[in-house]
């Protein structure tokens, strides 16, 4: 059963939260982060993308980058930009983007639960990205960005959440992308006990987004556990920053693909090969094709949109991983036709989150890349089924929106 706990959050002074809160470290390039934070000394990008305060040619994995992140974090604390709550608290964090309204509990999730598969995963992590986050967490002695967890929705938790979020919030602000962020603090001991009790009845939590953050926080905790002869299991390093949402509030967008070349094929030859595993139809009016159901795909090639439908018998319906659209495209087109065997490592493929829209796919192809594919979003139920089966999804299977902001709540490891 899930073990969570409150913690003494480090967070912005109320009047500075809008200036501090920043996008996650992994959705912006260093160049984009430099531009966004250029005139904002309060931006938490100075902590999660600290290379922006160093020479532009610096390697982002240089030791100086992590040390700069540490320096920036603790300067924000010493300058009073960030304050720490006096006693352990839970927090509720609501995101509103258009019709999407989701509310999650900000809590410390247990690395023991991660180790014992109470917290279930659905993706492999990349060693280089994991090493980066380990170094960042260890050097800063903090979880600076939350792991996005989910659980099968529970009526009792929904009712308590509704009660708490009907009260006056701690923060309520809108970011430049039009997303509204509202946070409530829970410090009443009876309520804290009630929240812990309700979550202790949940069999499993699931990593929705943040596999590298959760893996690295766990490894840092394991190392500190091994180095501490007086380890009790209650130290802060045994828990990592998470925001835990009910599954039925989550919004997963399409995660689209762009490929740089046709693997030496001419257009007609490529289309003929695609037609062996997919029904290929040219889209009338040449409008961008956004798939409306599973096993259909949009394809933008040479200024034209096509609808692809996976043919019967080209994928195993009873396999939760191989029947995913991302798997069908990979196994029947990207690998055998375009020669992309490992999309994790192949530099010829890139992934475009659905938040950027299908016009971004057109722009990329019109600018010189060869072909783009629009996808039907993976469902949260598919994600949980795969995690329950102990299997992993192909890379870049899900794109969650809206994104949690970094710097709103920080968790120190001691």
Residues 306 and 300: their CA atoms lie apart, in Å, by 6
Using pLDDT thresholds of 50, 70 and 90, give the confidence band for residue 232.
very high
Bridge partner residues of 257 (DSSP): 351, 373
Cβ atoms 147, 377 nearer than 8 A? no
DSSP 89: B
Residues 48 and 50: their CA atoms lie apart, in Å, by 6
pLDDT digits (tens, 9 = 90+) for 347-380: 999 999 888 899 999 999 999 999 999 999 999 9
pLDDT at 396: 84
pLDDT at 384: 94
Residues 407 and 125: their CA atoms lie apart, in Å, by 24
Burial 234-255 (b: 16+ CB within 10 A, else e): eebbbbbbbbbbbbebbbbbbb
Decide if pLDDT at 160 tops 90: yes
Decide if pLDDT at 185 tops 90: yes
Average pLDDT over residues 75-93: 98
R_g (Cα) of the chain, nearest Å: 22
80-89, 180-189, 314-323: least confidently modelled range: 314-323
CATH number of 255-376: 3.30.1760
Average pLDDT over residues 108-126: 93
Residues 225 and 210: their CA atoms lie apart, in Å, by 22
Cβ atoms 406, 24 nearer than 8 A? yes
Cβ atoms 172, 180 nearer than 8 A? yes
DSSP, residue by residue, 55-80:
-TTS-TTSHHHHHHHHHHHHHHHHTT
Report the share of the chain in percent with pLDDT over 70.
100
pLDDT digits (tens, 9 = 90+) for 251-304: 999 999 999 999 999 999 999 999 999 999 999 888 899 999 999 999 999 999
178-187, 251-260, 296-305, 387-396: least confidently modelled range: 387-396
Q: Please report which residue ranges of 82-145 form alpha helices under DSSP H.
A: 111-115, 127-140
* CATH 3.30.1760 domain locations along the chain: 255-376
Helix (H, G, I), strand (E, B) or coil at 244: strand
DSSP, residue by residue, 277-314:
TEEEEEPGGG------STTEEEEEETTEEEEEEEPTTS
Average pLDDT over residues 317-324: 93
Bridge partner residues of 209 (DSSP): 148
DSSP, residue by residue, 20-43:
H-B--TTSS-HHHHHHHHTT-TT-
pLDDT at 137: 97
Beta strands in 131-259 (DSSP E): 142-143, 147-151, 171-174, 180-186, 205-209, 239-246, 252-253, 255-259
11-20, 234-243, 396-405: least confidently modelled range: 396-405
Token output for 382:
């598919």
pTM of the model: 0.90
Using pLDDT thresholds of 50, 70 and 90, give the confidence band for residue 78.
very high
């Amino acid at each position: 059963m899930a073990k969570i706990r409150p913690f003494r959050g480090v967070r912005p002074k109320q009047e500075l939260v809008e200036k501090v809160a920043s996008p996650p470290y992994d959705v912006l390039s260093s160049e984009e982060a430099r531009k966004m934070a250029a005139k904002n000394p309060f931006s938490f990008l100075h902590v999660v993308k600290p290379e922006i305060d160093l020479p532009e040619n610096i390697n982002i994995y240089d030791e100086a980058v992590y040390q700069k992140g540490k320096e920036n974090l603790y300067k924000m604390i010493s300058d009073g930009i960030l304050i720490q709550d006096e006693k352990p608290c839970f927090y509720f964090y609501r995101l509103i983007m258009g019709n999407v309204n989701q509310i999650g509990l900000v809590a410390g999730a247990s690395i023991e639960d991660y180790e014992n598969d109470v917290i279930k995963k659905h993706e492999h992590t990349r060693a280089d990205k994991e090493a980066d986050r380990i170094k960042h967490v260890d050097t800063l002695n903090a979880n600076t960005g939350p792991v996005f967890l989910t659980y099968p929705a529970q009526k009792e938790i929904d009712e308590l959440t509704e009660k708490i979020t009907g009260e006056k919030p701690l923060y309520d602000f809108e970011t430049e992308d039009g997303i509204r962020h509202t946070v409530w603090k829970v410090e009443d001991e009876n309520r804290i006990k009630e929240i812990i009790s309700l979550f202790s009845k949940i069999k499993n939590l699931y990593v929705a987004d943040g596999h590298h953050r959760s893996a690295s926080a766990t490894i840092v905790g394991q190392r500190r556990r091994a180095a501490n002869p007086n380890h009790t299991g209650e130290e802060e390093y045994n828990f990592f920053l998470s925001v835990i949402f009910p599954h039925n509030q989550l919004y997963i967008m399409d995660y689209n693909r762009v490929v740089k070349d046709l693997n030496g094929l001419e257009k007609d030859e490529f289309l003929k090969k695609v037609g062996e595993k997919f029904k290929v139809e040219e889209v009338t009016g040449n409008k961008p094709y956004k798939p409306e159901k599973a096993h259909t795909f949009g394809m933008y090639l040479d200024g034209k949109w096509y609808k692809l439908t996976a043919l019967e018998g080209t994928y195993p319906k009873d396999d939760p991983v191989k029947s995913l659209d991302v798997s069908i495209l990979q196994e029947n087109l990207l690998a055998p036709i375009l020669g992309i065997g490992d999309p994790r490592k192949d530099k010829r493929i890139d992934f475009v989150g659905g938040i950027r829209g299908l016009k971004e796919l057109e722009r990329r192809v019109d600018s010189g890349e060869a072909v783009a594919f629009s996808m039907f979003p993976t469902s949260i139920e598919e994600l949980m089924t795969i995690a329950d089966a102990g299997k992993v999804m192909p890379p870049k299977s899900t794109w969650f929106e809206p994104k949690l902001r970094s710097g709103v709540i920080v968790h120190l490891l001691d």
